Structure 1
Amino acid sequence: MAGGFLQYHEPSIVQILILISFFFFLSLAAWLSAKFIRADIIGQIAVGIIYGTPLANILLETWQETFLALGYIGLILIIFEGGLTTRLDLLKANFLQSNVGAATGVLFPIGLSYLLLYLGFGYGAVEVFIIGAALSATSLGTTFAVISSASKDVDLSQTRVGTVLISAAVIDDVSGLVMSSIISDLGGLSEGGGESLGWVIGRPILASALMAILTPILTKWFFAPIFRKFIEPRFHVYDHMLNIVLMVLVLCAFISIAAYAGTSILFGAFLAGTFLTYLPSKTPEGPFNVLTREEGEQNKDRSPTFVHTFEAYLMDVQEYLMAPLFFASIGFAIPFVSLWTGKAIWRGVVYTLLMAFAKVVVGVWIPVWDYFTTRKANAQDAEAEASPTKLNKQSRKGTWASAALLGSAMVARGEIGLLIVQIGYNETSYVSEDGFLTAIWAILLNTIIGPITVGLLVKYYGKTIGDSSWGVQAPIGEESEKSNRAVQPDALELGRRGLGEA
């Protein structure tokens, strides 16, 4: 009732020790899995399985629900950071490759699912579509987490292959969440209620398309000019304070629009990051055009960028609290004990291998694209001398390493796959228990296989990828006098400076 209050009770020593051990083992498991298999998220998922309902059920159910909510905020922050640091100039330059890769990453899992599950295992047609839709989504949270932690030698977010990966994963995730919205309403349709099938399918597709189209148009022609002319000259005076206020307002606005429009709030979080990065002016005299955070903080006529503010105020809480809770919450949602039957295991393993192939095949487009690009270049310059054999071998090695990286990084399904298949299992009558367990096996194993493979690839071929034509790129379209302002700007700032030319 109004005016009431929550009675304060000191937590018991058992509860306190459980929480301390939970967060300690989250950090320890992340460190161990990062050290030995180059994928810290695997350890955090394992701790979630052990402490959560699937296995020991040590945490209270209300705690698990709270951690799931906090973890989802962590996921939103991961995606938001990805939007802030994504190279929009590279995204624009590789738009076709990204869309082709994304289409492959959606169509192959669904198509191959029908070959195995429908023709081989005898599952129903709608059931196979739901499972295939779950396995068509690429885990955005896992993708950004792997990119940020895979290597200290090369910043994958600033590479051409990393940009294609991020944009393809975003498109796949949006496609998966659009299909999850459709699946969520299939239960009502099967019972004769709810909205028409056309609107159920069309609304999330229309909402996603409109947000993707209108955001860059309105940002470039309306919001950015207003911000640069009327707000920016006084905005930078308060440095981080106004930055964080604007970041919170924009993020909340975008995820709210996405939620009420019927599309993914994760897509809204990504768009919010790209929107903020484009707002400030990119001229050398602009207050946000700084190379380091210290330059923005110490000069009265300069300001830290939104990336700098994220690093100062949100990075630590995201990295050490929110993100671990998100990956632990994935563990909460895995029916671990039910997975261990002979039938579930062999079907799950076979389907896992097929679904891993269905995403790895996305990487084939990189050598295909290089092949046609080389042919086109040779046709335009027939008199050009052939490159030395050593250079050709090195170039091919970089191309195939980039292809393997792209395909492997698309393998992890994670949170979106679990969400879709659980919606199909819990809210419709189409997904059987056998189909549900088969899908869970594939989602779980692919979420483990993908980050491990990426970690190993970056460990042994990171420099090769970074030096290849699919590696770190100079800002596209930037004037030479701007690009020469500093000898070695940091990686995030290099990405930020390239955004204005997108």
Structure 2
Amino acid sequence: MVVDILILVSFFTFLWISEYASEKIIRAGIIGPIIVGIIFGQPLANILHHEWQETFLYLGYIGLILIIFEGGLTTRLDLLKANFGLSLIAAATGVLCPIGFSYLLLYLGFGYGAVETFIIGAALSATSLGTTFAVIAGASKDVDLSQTRVGAVLVSAAVMDDVSGLVMSSVIHQLGSLSSGGNANLGWLIGRPIVASAAMAILTPILTKWVFAPLFRKYIEHHFAKLDHLSNITLMILVLCAFISIASFAGTSILFGAFLAGTFLTYLPSKHPSGPFVVMSREEGEREKHKSPTFVHTFECYCLDAQTYVLAPLFFASVGFAIPFLDLWTGKAIWRGVVYTLLMLAAKFLVGAWIPISDAATRRASPKEESAQEKSAESPARESVASSVLPPALLLGMAMVARGEIGLLIVEIGYNNTDYVSADGFITAIWAILLNTIIGPIFVGLLVKFRGERIAKGKWGLVQAPGPELNASSSATLSEARMEEARQ
């Protein structure tokens, strides 16, 4: 009993220390817990009992759901809507380029099978949604990316990539039964997640705006001021459970459901200045009799500490549990894995190219302004445009690089449930997923540290909320809490 307790104490202690150290040294706090998971888990020392690792896996997944839910609560809906087209193109690029590049290297270069190449490429086409939101939250000490144009594009593209990853994992899961003569309907397997995701994405804002929000504002929200956080957290739990249940039974990603649950709650309260949820601070909502703390305030009060110090580190440690660390260290595995890693890094990095392309298209749409710039100072104008576009382009491209949990899930399904993925192909994919999940957040952290202010002040940076509609003070509360933690 004493030994087990000491093991658990040391595990959590190293989780916290490693996260703090990796955040301070390389500006990517998620790397430390992944390394601790590799060391304490089955991949290396296997110090933790198997039952503990399974328990931590489920607790970590709850942490992942809360990370995505928090992202939905703090996301600027107006920015998502304004940049939806660009986000769709960015997401398509982030899916098609990794699969296409995989065929060039794995199929034509390494001689892997066509189906095996598709499975590995599909695994590397999915952006880690949990890592994306963790990176955004970590960067909030320097700049609140959730309030920027480039942050809105990043969130939308990552969510779309997560949904596409679910579609591919569903298809790959059934490839084994199809190859052995099963009766699975491939068209339905592909179509169900797409239809379910599209239906939830379309129906949620429609029903929220025309049904749930009017009912909530007219009959419910004024009663919430009586119980403050208690009524808020009760509704938050019910909504989150409802959305992830609907998403699961419909056949789409429960992470997508968690994100929609957050955006649903963000839109519910009245945005009128006299509304109960329109407050300047958490203290005002708690103090004033006819005011209520916002849902962001309640998340900060009930969930933020548990998520930050326990559940989120457990999630990233569980990623380390799934990495076959000892099998990675052969000469063939290393050079193939590194080459494929670099190619997959470039494949996602290309997503950032849409920032300068979109900027150039916008400037061409206003020829009068462009001609005036050319007459006044052509060279300085071009330098100014480049300096305002390049940092957000780099940020978007590198933030999409991390693969994480979705990539591991897809390649493990392909390796364990089908006969198509070989051991060599599995190890090559693991190398690329692991290194990209490390490289992406590190680069983003350093970029935000040295260029965060320029990004925030540029045309792809911070955008002021339209009046009281999105209560900026509420959406900034989590960032302020993390900044206070950093100062301490």
- TM-score, length-normalised on structure 2? 0.95
Shift of 1:494: 12
Matched, 1:312 2:301: yes
Match 1:214 to one of 184, 203, 206 = 203
Alpha-carbon distance between aligned partners in 1 of 2:46 and 2:167, rounded to the nearest angstrom: 33
Q: Answer with 353-362 or 207-216: which moved more.
A: 207-216
What is the Cα deviation at residue 415 of structure 1?
A: 0.4
Pairing partner for 2:388 from 390, 395, 398:
398
1:327 aligns with 2:316: yes
User: Which residue is 1:251 aligned to?
Assistant: 240
Q: 1:302 to 1:194 in 2, by over 3 A?
A: farther
In structure 1, the residue matched to 2:153 is 164
Q: Alpha carbons of 1:370 and 1:60: their partners in 2 closer, same or farther (altered >3 Å)?
A: same
Measure the CA separation in 1 of the matches of 2:203 and 2:42: 42
Query: Residue by residue, what CA displacement relative to the aligned partner does 1:393-431 show, whole Å, maximum 9, x if unpaired?
Result: 344212100000000000000000000000110011111
Is structure 2 residue 436 aligned with structure 1 residue 446? Answer: yes
In structure 2, the CA distance between the partners of 1:448 and 1:294, relative to structure 1 (3 Å rule), is same
CA distance in 1, matches of 2:201, 2:416: 31
Query: How far apart, in 2, do the equivalents of 1:337 and 1:284 lie?
Result: 59
Give 1:414's aligned residue.
404
Partner Cα distance (2:196, 2:376) in 1: 48
Compare the two structures and name the one with the higher helix fraction: 2
Alpha carbons 1:25, 1:47 under 8 Å: kept = yes
1:192 Cα offset (Å): 1.9
Gaps of 5+ in 2: 480-488
Instruction: Give yes or no for contact 2:74–2:475 (8 Å, CA) kept in 1.
Output: no
Aligned residues of 2:150 and 2:461 also touching (Cα < 8 A): yes
> How far did residue 31 of structure 1 move?
1.0
The residue that corresponds to 2:486 in the other structure is: none
Structure 1 contact 395–468 (Cα < 8 Å) conserved: no
CA contact (8 A) 1:182 1:201 kept: yes
Aligned counterpart, 1:8: none
Q: How far did 1:450 drift? A: 0.2
Amino acid of the residue matched to residue 394 of structure 2?
A
Structure 2 CA distance for partners of 1:383 and 1:412, relative to 1, 3 Å: closer
Indicate whether 1:103 and 2:92 are aligned.
Answer: yes
Q: Do structure 1's residue 357 and structure 2's residue 359 form an aligned pair?
A: no
Output the CA distance in 2 between the equivalents of 1:208 and 1:329.
27
Listed as ranges, the gaps of 5+ residues in structure 1 are: 1-11, 496-502
Question: For 1:89-488, what aligned pairs fall within 5 Å after superposition?
Answer: 89-379=78-368, 393-475=383-465, 478-479=466-467, 482=468
Once the two structures are TM-superposed, the CA of residue 150 in structure 1 deviates from its matched residue by: 2.3
Q: CA deviation at 1:235?
A: 2.5
**Structure 1 CA distance for aligned equivalents of residues 478 and 248 of structure 2:** 32
Counterparts of 2:473 and 2:285, CA distance in 1: 14
Amino acid at match of 2:137: S
Evaluate the alpha carbon distance shift between residue 392 and residue 283 of structure 1 in structure 2; reply closer, same or farther with a 3 A threshold.
farther
Q: Percent identity over the alignment?
A: 69
Residue 4 of structure 1 aligns with which residue? none
SS of the residue 2:366 aligns to: helix
User: Match of 1:3?
Assistant: none
- State how 1:11-160 maps to structure 2 within 5 Å: 12-160=1-149
Per-residue CA deviations over 1:323-358 (Å, capped at 9, x if unaligned) read 000000000000000011111111100000000000
Cα-to-partner distance string for 1:351-388 (whole Å, 9 max, x where unaligned): 00000000000001001111110111225786678666
In 2: Cα distance, 1:359 partner to 1:103 partner? 11
Please name the residue that 1:9 is paired with. Answer: none
With over 3 angstroms needed to count, the CA separation of the structure-2 counterparts of 1:450 and 1:381, relative to structure 1, is closer
SS of residue matched to 2:365: helix
Residues 452 and 267 (structure 1), Cα distance of their counterparts in 2 relative to 1, 3 Å cut = same
Cα 1:54–1:392 change in 2 (3 A) is same
- State how far apart, in whole Å, the 2-side matches of 1:180 and 1:194 are: 18
On the 8 A contact 2:63/2:311 being kept in 1, the answer is yes
Cα offset, 1:304, TM superposition: 0.6
Q: In the superposition, relative to structure 1, how do residues 386 and 457 fare at CA in structure 2: closer, same or farther (>3 Å)?
A: farther
Letter in 2 for 1:164: V
- Cα deviation 1:266-298 (Å, max 9, x = unaligned): 000000000010001111111111121111111
Question: Match of 1:40, SS?
Answer: coil
Compute the displacement of 1:197 (Å).
1.3
Q: Distance in 2 between matches of 1:230 and 1:472?
A: 35
The total of aligned residue pairs comes to: 478
How far the C-alpha of 1:187 sits from its partner, in A, is 1.5
What is the alpha-carbon distance in structure 2 between the residues aligned to residue 234 and residue 130 of structure 1?
A: 52
State the alpha-carbon separation in 2 of the partners of residues 84 and 77 from structure 1.
10
Letter in 2 for 1:492: A
In structure 1, distance between residues paired with 2:70 and 2:462:
19
CA distance in 2, matches of 1:383, 1:44: 53
Structure 1 window deviating more from structure 2 (81-90 vs 148-157): it is: 148-157
Aligned equivalents of 1:373 and 1:471: distance in 2?
16
Preserved CA contact (<8 Å) 1:151 1:459: no
Structure-1 separation of matches of 2:259 and 2:418? 30
CA distance in 2, matches of 1:408, 1:380: 31
Distance 2:215 2:478 in 1: 25
